[in-house]
Amino acid sequence: MSYQRYSAEFKREAVNQITERRHSINEVSKRLGISTKSLYVWKGSKGKVE
């Protein structure tokens, strides 16, 4: 199974949509085509996304 690497900027913007814009994780996940697990991990990293 392969995986997609995302830039730090992409991850920050995805998390920003959840935390600042108040979109749901499911909504952002579907819109960006990424897993909810990835969003939870990125959100939990408290801005230390690499």
pLDDT, residue 3, reads: 72
pLDDT, residue 45, reads: 85
Number of H helices, E strands in the chain: 3, 0
pLDDT, residue 48, reads: 63
Task: Quote the tokens at residue 12.
Answer: 């920050």
Query: How would you write the pLDDT of the chain (50 residues) with one tens digit per residue?
Result: 567 799 999 999 999 999 999 999 999 999 999 999 999 999 998 656 55
Q: What is the dihedral of CA 17, 19, 24, 29, to 10 degrees?
A: 50
Residue with tokens 């939990």: 44
Q: Are 27 and 21 in contact (CB under 8 A)?
A: no
Q: Are 29 and 36 in contact (CB under 8 A)?
A: yes
Read off the pTM: 0.80
